[in-house]
Chains A and B, each alone.
Chain A
Amino acid sequence: MAISQMVGASIKRREDPRLVTGTGSYVDDLPQTAIVHMVVVRSTDPHARIAGIDTSRAKEADGVIAVFTGKELLSEFGAPLPVTDCFVPTKKYPKHYPLAIDKVRYVGEPVAIVLASSLSAAQDAAERVEVRYDSLPPVVDIEKAIEKGAPVLHDDVGSNLSYDVKFAAGDIEAAFREAEVKITQRLIQQRLIPFAVEPRGVVADYKPWARKLTIWSSTQIPHFVKVWAAVILGIPESDVRVIAPEVGGGFGSKIRVYPEEIMTALASRRLGRPVKWIEDRGENTKATHHGRSQIWDVEIAAKRDGTVLGIRPTQWLDLGAYCSQFGTFQVLGMLVAQGAYRMKAFDGRAVGVFTNRTPTDAYRGAGRPEATYLIERVMDLVARETGIDPVEVRRKNFVRLEDQPFTTLLGLTYDSGDYRITLDRALQMVDYQGLRREQAEKRKQGKYLGIGLSTYIEICGLGPAVPTQAAVGVSLWGMSVVNVHFTGKATVIIGSSPHGQGHETTYAQVAADVLGIPVEDIDVQHGDTAIGPMGMDTYGSRSTALDGNAVHISAMKVQEKAKKIAAHLLEAAEGDIVYEGGKAYVKGTPSKAVTIQEIAVAAFQTSRLPKGMEGGLEATTFFDPTNFVWPFGAHIAVVEIDADTGATRIRRYVAVDDCGTRINPMVVDGQLHGGIAQGIGQALFEEAVYDEAGQLRTASLVDYLVPTAADLPSFELEATITPSPVNPLGTKGIGEAGTIASSPAIINAIVDALAPFGVKDITMPATPEKVWQLMHRNGGTKR
Chain B
Amino acid sequence: MRRRVAVTINGTGYEHEVEPRTLLVYYIREQAGLTGTHIGCDTSNCGACTVELDGHTVKSCTMFAVQADGAQITTIEGLAKGSTLHPLQQAFWDEHGLQCGFCTPGMIMAAKQLLERNPNPSEREIRLGLEGNLCRCTGYHNIVKAIQAAAKVMAPGAEAKAPASVS
Contact = CB atoms under 8 A, between A and B. Distances in A.
Interface stretch (B52-60, B65-73, B131-139, B158-166): B131-139
Interface in B105-140: 105, 108, 123, 126-128, 130-131, 133-140
B41 interface: yes
Interface string A406-421: 0000000000000000
B76 A710 contact: no
B35 interface: yes
B11 to A, nearest CB: 16
B98 to A, nearest CB: 6
Pick the 3 closest A-B CB pairs, nearest first: A22-B36, A248-B102, A19-B101
B35 A673 contact: no
Given A678-B136, A701-B41, A709-B144, A249 B102 contact: yes
Given A21-B85, A29-B35, A676 B100 contact: no
B141 interface: yes
B34 interface: yes
Nearest to A281: B41
Interface of A: 12-13, 15-17, 19-26, 28-29, 120, 195-199, 246-249, 251, 278, 280-282, 499-502, 666-667, 669-671, 673-678, 700-702, 706, 708-710, 712, 714-715, 738
A196 B43 contact: no
10 contacts: A20-B101, A21-B77, A24-B101, A28-B29, A248-B38, A669-B96, A670-B138, A701-B41, A706-B136, A712-B127
A16 B85 CA distance: 11
Contacts of B38: 26, 28, 197-198, 248
Contacts of B85: 17, 20-21
A125 to B, nearest CB: 15
B101 A500 contact: yes
B107 to A, nearest CB: 9
A16 B39 CA distance: 19
Contacts of B104: 19-20
A280 B142 CA distance: 28
Interface string B79-109: 1100001000100111010111111110010
B42 A120 contact: no
Contact of B40 (A12, A197, A251): A197
Nearest to B146: A20
Nearest to B90: A20
Contacts, number: 178
B16 interface: no
A710 B29 CA distance: 30
Query: Which of A17, A248, A280, A702 has the most chain B CB atoms closer than 10 A to its own CB?
Result: A248
B122 to A, nearest CB: 12
A194 to B, nearest CB: 8
A702 B46 CA distance: 10
Contacts of A199: 40
A502 B29 CA distance: 26
Interface string B1-34: 0000000000000000001010000000100001
B43 A700 contact: yes
A712 B140 contact: yes
Contacts of B143: 709
A654 to B, nearest CB: 13
Given A248-B100, A500-B137, A678-B136, A28 B39 contact: yes
A15 B101 contact: yes
Nearest to A285: B41
Contacts of A13: 93, 96
Contacts of B151: none
Interface of B: prevailing SS: loop
A477 B127 CA distance: 41
B150 to A, nearest CB: 11
B45 interface: yes
B138 A674 contact: yes
Contact of B37 (A22, A248, A251): A22
Nearest to A699: B43
A248 B79 CA distance: 21
B102 A198 contact: yes
A676 B140 CA distance: 11
A500 B34 contact: no
Contacts of A702: 43, 45
A21 B134 contact: no
Nearest to A15: B101
Contacts of A673: 138-142
Contacts of B40: 197-199, 248, 281
A247 B100 contact: yes
Given A15-B101, A667-B96, A21 B141 contact: no
A670 B136 contact: no
A227 B101 CA distance: 28
A195 B37 contact: no
Given A29-B35, A500-B100, A670-B138, A20 B92 contact: yes
A19 B77 contact: no
A13 to B, nearest CB: 7
Contacts of B105: 20, 22
B100 A16 contact: no
A199 B49 CA distance: 14
Nearest to B129: A709
A313 to B, nearest CB: 30
A714 B76 CA distance: 26
A670 B142 contact: yes
Query: Which of A502, A666, A674 has the most chain B CB atoms closer than 10 A to its own CB?
Result: A674
Contacts of A670: 96, 99, 137-138, 142
B134 A706 contact: yes
B43 A701 contact: yes
A676 B138 CA distance: 9
Query: Which of B39, B41, B45, B144 has the most chain A CB atoms closer than 10 A to its own CB?
Result: B41
B35 A677 contact: no
A677 B140 contact: yes
Given A26-B102, A670-B137, 4 more contacts: A197-B137, A281-B41, A282-B42, A500-B100
Contact of B131 (A198, A666, A671, A709): A709
Nearest to B37: A22
Contacts of A12: 93-94, 96
A197 B100 contact: yes
A443 B102 CA distance: 44
A675 B127 CA distance: 18
A709 B42 contact: no
B100 A198 contact: yes
Given A22-B76, A714-B141, A197 B96 contact: no
B75 A22 contact: yes
A753 B61 CA distance: 42
A198 B37 CA distance: 12
Nearest to A280: B42
B92 A701 contact: no
